[in-house]
Amino acid sequence: MFSPSANIAQLRESATIAVSQRARALKAAGRHIIDLGAGEPDFDTPEFIRVAAQRAIDAGATRYTAMEGILPLREAIAAEANESWTGTDRVTAGEVVVSTGSKQSLFNSCFALFGSGDEVLIPTPSWTSYYEMVALSKATVVAVMGDPAVGFKVTAAMLAAHATARTRGLMLNSPSNPTGSVYSADELRAVLTLAAERGWWVISDEIYRRIVYGAPAASAFDVSPTRDNLVVVNGVAKAYAMTGWRIGWTISPAPLAKAMTALQSHTTSNAAAVSQHAALAALTMRAEADVAIASMVAQFAKRRDAAIAILHQDPRIEVLRPDGAFYLYIRAPGAGTVADAGTVFATQLLEKADVAVVPGSAFLTPDWVRVSYAAEQSQVEEAMRRIVTAYGA
Ligand code: GLU
């Protein structure tokens, strides 16, 4: 009879994944579910990337690679980082570790950096897995609640107010999942300067950086006074519509990169060889990539605007206007009076309106729900009409 080990006794399943699994199961059972649960671009991986991967398979990319990833890919990642980082200590391939998705890179970072007795600041709401990864590392989560009036962004002062002598690190994510908020360069600089002064590790998850609707989003590399305590995490999943290829990476000081490579060598080994070659094409065939990303972002922008226009038909509906990523954060009806109003609303939407969304409790804000608009436009619009109807019901 199975009883969970102490390692995972407190672990909760991922709500973002669970919602999609449930939507998939209901679809298989014949229901016409509109799945706005997991954040996954509905686009196919651009053709130039697929072709590069096919060629790589034929050229023999079918074996183990270096644990930390193939050198040309790590060089391409370092070169991209150096477009932001202007310090004299140029980013090198030796500071890059390629993994099986930015989720693994985030886990590697938390596991390698944090431990028992450490406190880790997490601006809240944040992506559900940050909380679990920090807890799996035996460190203590310190949720720093943002202000909904400014898209739930936190300031350096708010972080400082939650810090103690045990604070060891900070999770950053701009553009943010689940709110779509984007920190300005000045906001990010203030946070990174505080972290540098205090000696905190910063794990900056920049997976949505290329999905923005206004000015480009700043990277931590653009504004951090130092790279000594900085880990930048990114990957190809979202911007290049490559979720299934599972390629992410960290850029960190070399000793930490070495430790994460060792960790990976005992857990997953190298990321899939063919996927690394696909990612290499994504990062190096710049002209093709820029066209593909611009086209996808333009479509996300259209969906965002259409969705918000429909939601605004009911003036009671409070929705954050995202500047990046592809999520709408909506305050659930009954928020403030009904316990876990987001889960109540998400359940109602799934069971009565056939729309799958993620309850805000997954992001430690139970009054809200997260809706992904990385789905076909007519589906997004239909789902919004159903949300408006359900809101008034
Ligand atoms: N990161 C996406 C999301 O938040 C994909 C699912 C997951 O890995 O959590 O929906």
Q: Residue 103 CA: which ligand 1 atom is closest?
A: 8
* Angle formed by the axes of helices 128-136 and 15-28, nearest 10°: 120
Q: Report whether residue 332 contacts ligand 1, using a CB cutoff of 6 Å.
A: no
Query: Ligand 1 pocket: which of 127, 173, 370 to mutate (most atoms <8 Å of CB)?
Result: 127
Torsion of CA 332, 335, 337, 340, to 10 degrees: 70
Torsion of CA 53, 56, 57, 63, to 10 degrees: -120
Which one, of 230, 186, 178, lies nearest residue 208 by Cα? Answer: 178
Look up tokens 């992506």; give the residue: 127
Provide the 3-class DSSP secondary structure of residue 63. Answer: coil
Instruction: Please tell me the distance from the alpha carbon of residue 214 to that of residue 374, in angstroms, as a whole number.
Output: 18
Give the model's pLDDT for residue 33.
Answer: 95
Q: Which two tokens stand for residue 36?
A: 């706005």
For the chain (length 393 residues), average pLDDT per consecutive 10? 94 91 92 94 98 98 98 98 95 98 98 98 98 98 97 98 98 98 98 98 98 97 97 98 98 98 98 98 98 98 98 97 98 95 96 96 98 97 98 86
H runs (alpha helix) in the chain = 15-28, 47-58, 71-84, 102-113, 128-136, 156-162, 185-198, 220-223, 254-267, 273-284, 286-311, 341-353, 377-392
Give the model's pLDDT for residue 393.
Answer: 80
All structural domains of the chain, each given as residue ranges with its CATH number in brackets, are 15-44+289-391 (3.90.1150.10), 60-284 (3.40.640.10)
Torsion of CA 188, 332, 133, 158, to 10 degrees: 40
Q: Residue 243 CA: which ligand 1 atom is closest?
A: 5
Those residues whose C-beta lies under 8 Å from the C-beta of residue 94, and which sit 6 or more positions away, are 74, 254, 257
Residue 38 C-alpha to ligand 1 middle, in angstroms?
5
Residue 58 C-alpha to ligand 1 middle, in angstroms?
32
Which one, of 198, 81, 208, 148, lies nearest residue 331 by Cα? Answer: 148
Contact 123/144 with Cβ under 8 angstroms? yes
- Number of Cα atoms under 13 Å in the Cβ half of residue 283: 24
Chain mean position to CA 174 = 9
Q: Report whether residue 127 contacts ligand 1, using a CB cutoff of 6 Å.
A: yes
Residue 129 C-alpha to ligand 1 middle, in angstroms?
8
Q: Residue 207 CA: which ligand 1 atom is closest?
A: 1
Residue 363 C-alpha to ligand 1 middle, in angstroms?
12
DSSP per position, 137-152: TTPEEEEEE-BGGGTT
Q: Which two tokens stand for residue 147?
A: 């202000």
Q: Which two tokens stand for residue 372?
A: 């992904």
Q: Are strands 140-145 and 119-124 parallel, antiparallel or unpaired?
A: parallel
pTM above 0.95, yes or no: yes
Which one, of 375, 344, 373, 346, lies nearest residue 358 by Cα? Answer: 346
Residue 165 C-alpha to ligand 1 middle, in angstroms?
32
Instruction: Please tell me the distance from the alpha carbon of residue 151 to that of residue 62, in angstroms, as a whole number.
Output: 45
Instruction: Please tell me the distance from the alpha carbon of residue 269 to that of residue 65, in angstroms, as a whole number.
Output: 9
Cα distances (Å, whole numbers) of residue 134 to 11, 12, 87, 122, 165 = 11, 13, 30, 9, 18
Q: Report whether residue 180 contacts ligand 1, using a CB cutoff of 6 Å.
A: no
